[in-house]
């Protein structure tokens, strides 16, 4: 795996094809994109346009088939599964529409997980997690389990988890898709705050409210940027 001294994202001629019962599906077609360190970029597009595939590749969840993906100093084009797992632990935070919280852990424990995975003692990680929840107005919910929270609260816990890890790259896949307008505005403000702290933020969404707060909006249509 190659590491370079950069914290931005550079994608060149990225293509990805999935097999399906009806034939090949071309999710990405020669996509190229440069994102500067600390920039917040929104990738907009309708369902099926390739947004989630792009986020999956940037997160190291989907391997690169064709082209190159240099993300915050890591060349994902040559990264194997172990390399990509290391990359997710140390470089990329992913905020999913489905939250991906651990149902058996409290909000505080969920937020503490990234710190514990990188060597922070769990007691210290939980202390920092509680502070992170206080920062986003969820200090009263620290001991609740995901099943005891609303969708908006769970999404804010997911963002607190991304914030606490202080990774250079934050990826969000439809972060406001299931939220009411007020909660969505809070989530967008948190993403904007992450970029102001120096994180590179890439959000895939069809929500124009997210794009209104971005530094730049690009559109993906049938796997190509326009």
pLDDT of residue 92: 93
pLDDT of residue 201: 95
From first to last of the 226 residues of the chain, give the pLDDT tens digit: 443 335 689 999 999 999 888 889 899 999 999 999 999 999 998 888 899 999 999 999 999 999 999 999 999 999 999 999 999 988 999 888 778 899 999 999 999 998 888 888 888 999 999 998 988 788 889 999 999 999 889 988 988 888 788 889 999 988 887 778 888 888 888 889 889 988 999 999 888 888 899 999 999 998 888 8
pLDDT of residue 117: 83
Dihedral of alpha carbons 79, 52, 163, 107, sign = negative
Distances (CA, A) of 47 to 118, 177, 181, 206, 217: 35, 12, 20, 8, 17
Residue 33, φ and ψ in degrees, nearest 5: -160, 135
pLDDT of residue 91: 93
Q: Please, are residues 201 and 191 in contact by the beta-carbon 8 Å criterion?
A: yes
pLDDT of residue 7: 66
d(CA 67, CA 166): 28
Q: Please, are residues 213 and 185 in contact by the beta-carbon 8 Å criterion?
A: no
d(CA 87, CA 80): 10
The H or E element that residue 195 is part of is helix 181-196
pLDDT of residue 165: 80
Residue 108, φ and ψ in degrees, nearest 5: -60, -45
């Amino acid at each position: 795996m190659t590491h370079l001294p950069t914290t931005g994202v550079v994608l060149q001629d990225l293509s990805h094809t999935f097999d399906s019962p009806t034939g090949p599906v071309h999710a990405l077609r020669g996509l190229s994109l440069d994102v500067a360190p600390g920039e917040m970029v929104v990738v907009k597009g309708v369902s099926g346009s390739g947004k989630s595939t792009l986020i999956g590749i940037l997160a190291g969840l989907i391997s690169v088939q064709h082209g190159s993906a240099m993300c915050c100093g890591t060349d994902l084009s040559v990264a194997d599964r172990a390399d990509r797992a290391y990359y997710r632990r140390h470089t990329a935070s992913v905020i999913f529409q489905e939250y991906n919280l651990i149902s058996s852990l409290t909000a505080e424990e969920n937020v503490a997980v990234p710190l514990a995975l990188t060597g922070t003692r769990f007691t210290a990680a939980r202390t920092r997690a509680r502070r992170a929840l206080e920062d986003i107005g969820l200090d009263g919910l620290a001991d609740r389990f995901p099943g005891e929270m609303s969708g908006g609260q769970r999404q804010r816990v997911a963002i607190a988890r991304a914030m606490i890890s202080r990774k250079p790259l934050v990826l969000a896949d439809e972060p406001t898709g299931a939220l009411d307008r007020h909660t969505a505005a809070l989530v967008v403000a948190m993403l904007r705050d992450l970029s102001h702290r120096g994180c590179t933020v890439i959000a895939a969404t069809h929500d124009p409210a997210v794009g209104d707060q971005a530094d730049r909006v690009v559109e993906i249509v049938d796997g190509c940027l326009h």
